[in-house]
Structure 1
Amino acid sequence: MSSAGMGRRRVLGAGVAALAATLGGCTGGSAPERRLRLATGPEGGPYNAFGKALARAVAASGRGPRLVPVTTAASVDNLRRLHEGTVELALSMADVAEDATLGRESFTGPVTTMTALARVYVNYTHLLVPADGPVHDVGDLAGRAVAVGAPGSGVQVVAGRVLRAAAPAGSGVEAPGERALGLAESVGALRDGAVDALFWSGGVPTPALAELARERPLRFLPLDARVDPLRERYGPVYTAVTLPAGVYGLSAPVATIGVGNYLLARADVPPDIIRDLLRVVFDQWRDLLREVTAGARLEPRFAISTGRVPLHPGAAAHYRSVYG
């Protein structure tokens, strides 16, 4: 065997050994405890809330391994960790997962270890500004400071794409000043006047934004005109959705950009573990989604819509066995 072939076998062997150690880590007794690390997002964010709720639901069910939620910067960070093998499960926005599958933009090559378990709910893109300010459209953000999400987050990806489309390179339009801030920092910066606008991608309502809307009048900018250009360039991961009247004190609906969220796993997680995990997800979806967004449902025809990201064999087997 060539030295290159032996090297590949050593790498694969190390990966399998690491996974086996994670799934069979000893708890101090004779019986090993199986556990899976789930990359979520920052503390207080919807991914972190979903991950903790899922971990509780799995523990209560007695099915499958113990889930260990891992606090992260969110989507991009999560998929890099999944690729490196430092976590076995991850949450990610659909557009970032597509980028990882194709090896584009934030990823230097395809993340071939990634598989999908389910599309669990939709993020709504929020773009908000002070109601008494001069900004009424994305184009009005030229030269202004805009909070675009934390480094390594999915909101940073969609915000950057929207802003680059509004001020393309070489157009002569001054680009907005992008500030990489997490949600709490973004809210504080908008409140203090340190930024002129705030992007966020999450469930509806997002508590931090609802609290800010109670403190001061806000304007939520429509983004529906940006959906088709995004779909033409990046595919159907982007959809048209609407922030309903009443939420955040809105007097009328605001059309914006929707992006799905995927629950993902490394391909080398055993299929039986994935099937047990999905049984819990579908049994407890009402409680899980209550943590992150109002009025959402999890249905099989929705869940299997994971675009270019292939389903894990265990997930495919689960859907076949339950839904035919």
Structure 2
Amino acid sequence: MSNTEEEKTVKHSLIGAFAAVVSLAAPAVAQQHLSITTGGTGGVYFPMGGGIAELISQNLEGYSAVGEVSGGTVENMARIFNGDADFAMGIADTVSQAASGTGAFEGRQVPVRTIAAIYAAPMQIVVLDEGPIQTLQDVKGTRFSIGAPGSGNEVNTTTVLGANGISFDDLGRTERLSYTETADGMRDGVVDGGLWASTAPTSSIMSLSASRDLRLIGLSDEEVAAIIEQDESFVPFTMPEGIYPGVEAPVQTVALSNALVAHEDLDEELAYQVTKLLHENAEYLVSIHPAARDMTEEFMVNGASVPLHPGAQRYYEEIGLEIPDRLRP
């Protein structure tokens, strides 16, 4: 082979190699990586966020996404504020505080907007069937668990009871117990009831129902209205017949939604496409975690505690949903 032919061969090889490198590199350059900050690995947020990340990665050209472990909603709102995450899972009351710069976010308002409410955490007032509690007002004078000290459950119980004129001083004995401890106390007959602010069905309640007959206490229309008037993060919610053994009719209560949210500056078209993905793949999310069965069209919108992202609003309006004034950007 002559030097000229050898030079041509080398040149062509180099050109081919360069083209291959460019071809391999191009998708990586075009791919935009998205972070969805979720919660601990033992909760609902982590698998739900991971499922949403998989939907994005498999269906939105030019994007890949990953669910990130976090300490929960407060940390998630900080990540949105600092630009360390593109999307976040969050519970309604904390997200609302972040948006208004109140509570844990005093002096630091987070410009957060809702993509979609995903599932509800209903306030489940569970009592022993043979016990004295028939209505919410009947908790007065009883041995009632309000949740572990400093927990979100304790905060929620304070709101539910307080909005309806019941203070902890009205209880016969105030028990500050975790969900598992409350169930154990009811099983042993030393606690009359408690409030669970969690997804339903809840494992500790299911376990308790195997050994004790239970009753869910429903809220009246007036009691629901009083709670929402005190804290608009709550929404009306009906627990279905058969959710637990012995529950033979729907039970009216209130719930806090858990939503996918984002910074208000998130690209509008991306927000639109992600909202569309969630709506069209609700059954897939139910396969990730059954809590997503709450994700009806109406709940996706009305479960929001802060205004919708403009991209999400555009999608919901396109499919004919009515947007309440409180949720317009």
Task: Report the TM-score, using the length of structure 1 for normalisation.
Answer: 0.70
Is residue 222 of structure 1 aligned with residue 218 of structure 2?
yes
- Residues of 2 paired with 1:317 and 1:172: CA distance? 48
Query: Deviations 1:52-103 (Å, cap 9, x if unpaired)?
Result: 3323333333543312142434x44543443344433222333333333233
| Residues 1:247 and 2:243 aligned together | yes
Q: Which residue of 2 aligns with 1:67?
A: 66
The reply to whether residue 265 of structure 1 matches residue 262 of structure 2 is: yes
Answer yes or no: is the 8 Å Cα contact 1:120–1:261 preserved in 2.
yes
Show the counterpart of 2:87. Answer: 89
Task: State whether residues 51 and 285 of structure 2, in contact with CA within 8 Å, keep that contact through their aligned partners in structure 1.
Answer: yes
Equivalent position to 1:162, from 160, 179, 188: 160
Which amino acid counterpart does residue 113 of structure 2 have in structure 1? T
Rounded to whole Å, the distance in 2 between the matches of 1:38 and 1:172 is: 42
Partners of 2:209 and 2:145 lie apart in 1 by 18
Counterpart mapping for 1:1-324 below 5 A: 31=28, 34-61=32-59, 63=61, 64-73=63-72, 75-109=73-107, 111-139=109-137, 140=139, 144=143, 146-148=145-147, 153=152, 155-165=153-163, 173=170, 177=174, 179=176, 181=178, 183=179, 187=183, 191=187, 196-224=192-220, 225-235=222-232, 237-249=233-245, 250-289=247-286, 291-293=289-291, 296-299=294-297, 302-305=299-302, 309-319=306-316
SS in 2 for 1:223: coil
- TM-aligned CA deviation for residue 265 of structure 1: 0.8
- Partners of 2:77 and 2:110 within 8 A in 1: no
Superposed displacement of residue 116, structure 1:
1.1
Classify 1:168/1:78 alpha carbon distance in 2 versus 1 (closer, same or farther; 3 Å). Answer: farther
* 1:117, distance to aligned residue in structure 2 (A): 0.9
Q: TM-score, normalised by structure 2?
A: 0.69
Structure number with greater Rg is: 2
Deviations 1:190-234 (A, max 9, x none): 556786533223444334433432343222222335211122223
RMSD: 3.8
How many Å separate the matches in 1 of 2:148 and 2:155? 9
Distance 1:172 1:297, change over 3 A: closer
Is the CA contact (8 Å cut-off) linking 1:239 and 1:258 kept in structure 2? Answer: yes
CA separation of 1:238 and 1:294: change in aligned 2, threshold 3 A = same
Q: 1:41 to 1:132 in 2, by over 3 A?
A: farther
Task: Say if 1:275 and 1:314, in contact at 8 Å, map to a contact too.
Answer: yes
Residue by residue, what CA displacement relative to the aligned partner does 1:159-179 show, whole Å, maximum 9, x if unpaired?
A: 22113345656x963586463
**Alpha-carbon distance in structure 2 between the residues aligned to 1:106 and 1:194:** 35
Instruction: Tell me how many residue pairs correspond in the alignment.
Output: 290
- 2:10 equivalent in structure 1: none
Q: Which runs of 5+ in 1 are unaligned?
A: 1-28
Deviations 1:213-263 (A, max 9, x none): 23432222223352111222233x434333222220113332211333322
